[in-house]
Structure 1
Amino acid sequence: MPVCSENYESEIAEGRNCRSVKCKFCGSVILSPSTATFASFEFQLPLIRQNKSNETEPETETVSFFWSVSDMYTFQNVGFSHTVGNNKYLACADCEAGPIGYHDLTNKTSFVALSRVQHS
Structure 2
Amino acid sequence: MSEPSMSSTSGAESMPPGVMEALLRPSKSRPTLRTLDSFSSGITEVSLPESDFQVNKYDLLCPRPECGSIILRSGVGKLVEKPSVQTSQMEPADRTPSLLTPMPEPPTLVYWWLVAPSPMEFENIGFSKPLTTEGAPQMKLLSCAECDLGPVGWTEVGGKEFWVACSRVGYRA
Query: How does the TM-score come out when normalised to structure 2?
Result: 0.55
**Which of 128, 133, 141 does residue 89 from structure 1 map onto?**
141
Taking the aligned partners of 1:72 and 1:95, their CA distance within structure 2 comes to: 18
Secondary structure of the equivalent of 2:58?
A: coil
Residue 48 of structure 1 deviates from its aligned partner by 2.1
In structure 2, the partner of 1:99 is 151
Secondary structure of the equivalent of 2:167?
A: helix
**Which of 44, 52, 56 does residue 9 from structure 1 map onto?**
44
Sequence identity (%)? 27
Hey, which of these two has a bigger chunk of strand by percent?
Answer: 1
In structure 2, the partner of 1:76 is 123
- Report the AA paired with residue 35 of structure 1: V
Tell me, yes or no, if the aligned pair for 2:47 and 2:56 is still in contact at 8 Å: yes
The count of corresponding residues between Structure 1 and Structure 2 is: 107
Taking the aligned partners of 1:108 and 1:66, their CA distance within structure 2 comes to: 15
In structure 2, the partner of 1:23 is 62
Residue 50 of structure 1 deviates from its aligned partner by 4.8
Residue 41 and residue 97 in structure 1: after superposition, are their counterparts in 2 closer, same or farther (change >3 A)? same
Taking the aligned partners of 1:35 and 1:83, their CA distance within structure 2 comes to: 25
Q: Over the residues paired in the alignment, what is the CA RMSD in angstroms?
A: 2.4
In structure 2, the partner of 1:57 is none
Taking the aligned partners of 1:13 and 1:49, their CA distance within structure 2 comes to: 34
Q: Which moved more, 1:33-42 or 1:60-69?
A: 60-69
Tell me, yes or no, if the aligned pair for 2:48 and 2:57 is still in contact at 8 Å: no
Taking the aligned partners of 1:65 and 1:82, their CA distance within structure 2 comes to: 24
Hey, which of these two has a bigger chunk of helix by percent?
Answer: 2
Instruction: Compare CA radii of gyration and give the structure with the larger one.
Output: 2
In structure 1, the partner of 2:75 is 34
Residue 49 of structure 1 deviates from its aligned partner by 4.0
Query: How does the TM-score come out when normalised to structure 1?
Result: 0.77
What 5-or-longer segments of structure 2 have no aligned partner?
1-39, 96-101, 133-137
Secondary structure of the equivalent of 1:16?
A: strand
1:65 partnered with 2:111? yes
Tell me, yes or no, if the aligned pair for 2:48 and 2:56 is still in contact at 8 Å: no
- Report the AA paired with residue 80 of structure 2: A
